[in-house]
């Protein structure tokens, strides 16, 4: 069974990539299994300067998932490059994807360009869809002109391929995808989290300190799959699918909908071995469905 996929000129041993924000900087997971089994890793969201993130509490459990409002806590791009990536390089041999967030076009541009000379990073995932950061964040991902202009400016300075991570919290996801493609995006990843909230029944107070956060987990899978299907038909650049993926069968379904690679997010937080389990299960599930080569099924659903 052939699980290799080609993505942005880079060959991944399999399409499984832990999603940004759900896997730290990767090296933490090397303490429980050999992370070299992964196709790649999308690093924790990075901003120009260090961010503490939102005040506690910032996690709320939900049926079929969870809500988070971490707020892009990270040590800033300088330390990510000088400390976090070298730590990861000691335990993971393949190249990775840097995830960049920001409050302004200038911040996005400066942070992305900082990765130009980092050989370990083969692509930049531009997070224009974070629903729990005040100022910037999702604002860049809900207005197609703003998103287009941001991607255009980043492309002027960034020497790495740009993956744009789209928000599902829009009226027309296809319009957003076409807007960033026309601005020069090299690939699209979708979907990020949906805006959600939970209340404390005893007080009526929102559980999350900033009231709302990003809902992710199994509950969003069918909606995410539909968006991957729609976007991959509408654009000519590769698509990474994510949103509620928990097993090898979900991966095959995402790829048939049009995804070249598949990111696994929230499930890592409740089942830290999930990516390894999916990778171990892939050949068996491929055999069950008579699939010899994963690349053969990308976009298979578009034929019907």
Domains of the chain: 5-55+70-195+217-303 (3.20.20.70)
pLDDT of residue 103: 87
148-152: list long-range contacts, CB under 8 Å, 24+ apart. 148/179, 148/180, 148/182, 148/183, 149/105, 149/183, 150/105, 150/108, 150/126, 150/183, 151/126, 151/180, 151/183, 151/184, 151/185, 152/183, 152/184
pLDDT of residue 133: 44
Residues 6+ apart with CB under 8 A from 104: 136
pLDDT of residue 60: 96
130 classed as catalytic: yes
pLDDT of residue 136: 45
- Distance of alpha carbon 221 from alpha carbon 218, whole angstroms: 5
* pTM to 2 decimal places: 0.96
pLDDT of residue 6: 98
pLDDT < 70 stretches in the chain? 129-139
pLDDT of residue 142: 83
User: Using one digit for the tens of pLDDT, what is the confidence trace for 109-148?
Assistant: 999 999 999 999 999 999 996 544 444 445 678 889 989 9
Which residue among 22, 62, 112, 130 is the active-site one? 130
pLDDT of residue 32: 97
pLDDT of residue 135: 46
pLDDT of residue 193: 93
């Amino acid at each position: 069974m052939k699980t290799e996929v080609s993505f942005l000129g880079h060959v991944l041993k399999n399409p499984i990539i832990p999603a940004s924000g759900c896997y730290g900087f990767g090296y933490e997971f090397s303490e429980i299994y050999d992370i070299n089994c992964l196709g790649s890793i999308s690093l924790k969201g990075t901003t120009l300067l260090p961010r503490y993130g939102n005040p506690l509490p910032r996690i709320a459990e939900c049926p079929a998932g969870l809500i988070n409002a971490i707020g892009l806590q990270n040590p800033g791009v300088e330390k990510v490059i000088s400390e976090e990536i070298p730590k990861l390089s000691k335990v993971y041999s393949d190249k990775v994807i840097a995830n960049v967030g920001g409050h302004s076009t200038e911040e996005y541009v400066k942070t992305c360009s900082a990765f130009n000379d980092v050989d370990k990073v083969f692509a930049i995932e531009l997070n224009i869809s974070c629903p729990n950061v005040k100022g910037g964040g999702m604002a860049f991902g809900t207005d197609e002109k703003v998103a287009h202009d941001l991607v255009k400016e980043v492309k002027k300075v960034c020497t790495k391929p740009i993956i744009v991570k789209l928000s599902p919290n829009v009226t027309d996801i296809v319009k957003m995808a076409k807007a960033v493609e026309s601005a020069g995006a090299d690939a699209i990843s979708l979907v990020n989290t949906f805006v959600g909230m939970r209340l404390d029944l005893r007080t009526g107070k929102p559980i999350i300190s900033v009231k709302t956060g990003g809902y992710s987990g199994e509950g969003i899978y069918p909606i995410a799959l539909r968006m991957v299907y729609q976007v991959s038909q509408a654009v000519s650049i590769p698509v990474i699918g994510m949103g509620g993926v928990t097993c090898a069968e979900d991966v095959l379904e995402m790829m048939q909908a049009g995804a070249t690679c598949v990111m696994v997010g929230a499930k890592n937080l409740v089942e830290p071995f999930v990516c390894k389990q999916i990778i171990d299960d892939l050949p068996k599930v491929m055999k069950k469905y008579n699939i010899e080569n994963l690349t053969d099924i990308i976009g298979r659903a578009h034929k019907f």
